[in-house]
Amino acid sequence: MIHVKTSSRNIALIAVFAALYYVLSLISPYVPAVGLADLRIRLEALVASVFGFVLGPYLGALAAFTGAFVTWTIPPGSASPLDAPFLLSPPINALVVGLVFYRKSKWAFAIFGSLIVAFLFLPPSQPIAENYIVPTAVLWDKLIALFLIFPSIWLGKKSSNPRIATALFFLIAFIGNQADNMWGSDVFAVPIVYKSIYGLDVEMVRPLFIASPFVYPAIRLVQAILATIIAVPLMRTLKGTGWLIGEKSIIEQETLGELRAGKDK
């Protein structure tokens, strides 16, 4: 079962990180979605991975959702219905990252895997015998990210070397950002979204999905790199301060200390 402890400390952490998300939204660039100039991929969403590392899966997801919601509603946000379906993308990123990093990889695999399977049953993929190119184009990189969970677990056992630990942060951040992307693909494939909100029919949506693999994997790689650049020094700085959650992570605690000291074995 999932338990989230409510305390003034946790509420303060959620507020601080949500505020950070909003501030970053004011200065971060964005990338227009393929074929949809009005839909923007906001690069500040990459910090959701950092939330998962620092706060864990549940507090991290709450902070990411709060930050995304505040950014959506408070100026320069406009509470546009175009962006509303994607408000859960950042919290899913933080959730999956936190689950992998804090040794709940089975839950991460189940959640991410369920999002992948769901796409197969949505209208743009149906009937699969005729439209197999759509799920193939959308899911190939997501499947790679899903199964990278297993080498992440293995690398965690080898993470006494700070270089391996840094690579592990990157790998998990990439998985989380791909889970974010998978939610976006799923929700955009729901008729009430592509038809009622965006005014498209399914025949117009399929080409958008087919074109997406040439852009989105590169964006997720860049987001994972930036999240790693932020997360590694932040984690080593926060170690021992009480800001990190008390659960045991996938890497050795001594390794965080070595990262903090700047040692390179």
Report the CATH number that the domain containing residue 34 is assigned in CATH: 1.10.1760.20
Residue 8 confidence (pLDDT): 82
Q: Assess if residue 103 is contained within a domain.
A: yes
Coil, helix or strand at residue 36: strand
Residue 40 pLDDT class (50, 70, 90 cuts): low
How far is Cα 64 from Cα 23, in angstroms, rounded to an integer?
Answer: 13
Residue 257 confidence (pLDDT): 55
Q: Assess if residue 241 is contained within a domain.
A: yes
Q: Which of 48, 189, 214 is nearest to 121 (CA)?
A: 189
Average pLDDT estimate for 114-123: 98
Q: Assess if residue 256 is contained within a domain.
A: yes
Least confident window among 40-44, 61-65, 116-120, 189-193 = 40-44
Please confirm whether the linkage preceding 123 is cis (ω < 30° from 0).
Answer: no
CB 214 within 8 A of CB 138: no
Structure tokens at 125: 């993929």
Q: What is the pTM of this model?
A: 0.89
Q: Assess if residue 134 is contained within a domain.
A: yes
Count of the separate structural domains present in the chain: 1
Q: Which residues contact 154 (CB under 8 A, 6 or more apart)?
A: none
Q: Assess if residue 110 is contained within a domain.
A: yes
Q: Assess if residue 218 is contained within a domain.
A: yes
Containing structural domain, residue 191: 8-261
DSSP type of residue 195 = I
Residue 264 confidence (pLDDT): 45
Q: Mean pLDDT over all residues of the chain? A: 86
Residue 137 pLDDT class (50, 70, 90 cuts): very high
- At 42-70, the pLDDT tens digits run 777 889 999 999 999 999 999 999 999 99
Residue 160 confidence (pLDDT): 67
Q: Assess if residue 246 is contained within a domain.
A: yes
Q: Assess if residue 181 is contained within a domain.
A: yes
